[in-house]
Structure 1
Amino acid sequence: MVDKKTVITVCIDDFAIKKRESYGTTMVDISNHKIIDMINSRDYENVSKWLKTYPNIQIISRDGL
């Protein structure tokens, strides 16, 4: 279980579940390179909603570490 208060840096990377049909997004804690979560979307609204549940995030990176 991830303590949301300790995550301050996150990398988000989208991937194809089925090319041109469905996509997901992986959230990785940059400080320890561990996957925090995966969501079944890469849409801005869904990723933004997820990010807002982590109140201490200061840095967001995209597409790999």
Structure 2
Amino acid sequence: MKEEFAASAARATPVVGGNFWLWLSHHDINWWVAVATLAYIGASFVFAWRKDRRDRCAGKREHAHD
């Protein structure tokens, strides 16, 4: 089953990659700026969430040693 899926994915890769490249290359700069902005905002939220989680875990470890 896995081999069949891998073979099917390998056969479809050039077609999918070509279609994806055509889709990407037909957008103007405003679209790319919007995508980059959304990616930056999303990454900021992820980094803030991870930092908050790290700080909470560090706080729990400090209180465990009291």
Shorter chain as denominator, the TM-score bin is under 0.3
User: TM-score when scaled to structure 2?
Assistant: 0.24
Larger fraction in helix: 2
Larger fraction in strand: 1
Compare CA radii of gyration and give the structure with the larger one: 2
| Greater relative contact order (Cα < 8 A, sep 6+) | 1
User: TM-score when scaled to structure 1?
Assistant: 0.25
